[in-house]
Amino acid sequence: MKKLLILILAGILALSVSGCGNSGTAQQQATITVAGSTSVQPISEALAEAFMEKNKDIKVNVQGGGSGAGIKSAQEGTADIGSSSRELKSDEAGLTETVICKDGILVAVNPQNTVSDLTLEQIKKIYSGDITNWKEVGGADQAINIVTREAGSGTRGAFEELVMGKDTAISDKAVVQNTTGAVRAAVAGDANAIGYISMASIDDTVKVITVEGVAGNAENVINGTYKIQRPFLYLTKGEPAGAVKTFIDFVLSEEGQSIIEQEGLVLVK
């Protein structure tokens, strides 16, 4: 009986020591939240996946919501990193900006459309409602169906700044879509539609037109000949530190930039 008691006590002691050892070696996982632009979102997801493979102790959660939401979440500290697909406005100052890449905003039509090139002025007039029929720009005698992003979208904000200008609004007859993918799907499903889409989100379901004879590709974004372009930004409240800095450093590293390039965007390094 005495021997059995000794064995039981020894077993309890071994379990106790084992339990202490596990608690001493367990590491607490850091979590980073990236929130904002739906154009930046798929890039962030690809970067986060590769980063977490190498950094098991850091979890990166990526969310959408639009550039406006990303800027606000960075300002309020509800996200560690806010993502934006447009430049910050004067009343949004105070955040630390990191340009992770550049993007061309491509003008897309349905593959059935015979129009292959438009000037900036023609695009502006189409979106303002001054040009309403494709025959006015060399296409078929069909009404133009405008597709745009929602207010607060970074893609829309950049398009308004670069194409529409300060004094011209997008027509209230435009069909509003809340994501880049939804714009692409709307154009793909309507022979008379036109939309603007991030170059990283283009596929063969739509037809990309040239703008003033210039193709929207990486080379022309870099040399500045393609005019409808904008930066993709990561925004932090103060200088990046800790796990956030580790992630942003990875994004700007050779490996991170290679992932961005594979996604069809223009490198900053």
- Same domain assignment for residues 70 and 112: no
Compute CA distances 63 → 60, 81, 209, whole Å.
10, 10, 30
Please tell me the distance from the alpha carbon of residue 7 to that of residue 14, in angstroms, as a whole number. 11
- Same domain assignment for residues 56 and 110: no
Which residues constitute the domain of residue 204? Answer: 104-229
Residue 175 confidence (pLDDT) above 90: yes
- Same domain assignment for residues 53 and 168: no
9-50: pLDDT as tens digits = 444 444 444 444 443 334 578 999 999 998 899 999 999 999
- Same domain assignment for residues 56 and 71: yes
pLDDT at residue 108 in the model: 98
Residue 245 confidence (pLDDT) above 60: yes
Q: Please report the sign of the dihedral spanned by the C-alpha atoms of residue 38, residue 39, residue 44, residue 46.
A: positive
- Same domain assignment for residues 84 and 142: no
Q: Is residue 20 part of a domain?
A: no
Q: Is residue 153 part of a domain?
A: yes
- Same domain assignment for residues 42 and 92: yes
Please tell me the distance from the alpha carbon of residue 116 to that of residue 214, in angstroms, as a whole number. 11
- Same domain assignment for residues 115 and 64: no
**3-state helix vs strand vs coil in the chain, percent to 5:** 40, 25, 35
- Same domain assignment for residues 119 and 39: no
103-162: pLDDT as tens digits = 999 999 999 999 999 999 999 999 999 999 999 999 999 999 999 999 988 899 999 999
- Same domain assignment for residues 120 and 62: no
Q: Which amino acid is at 91?
A: D
pLDDT at residue 166 in the model: 87
Residue 189 confidence (pLDDT) above 80: yes
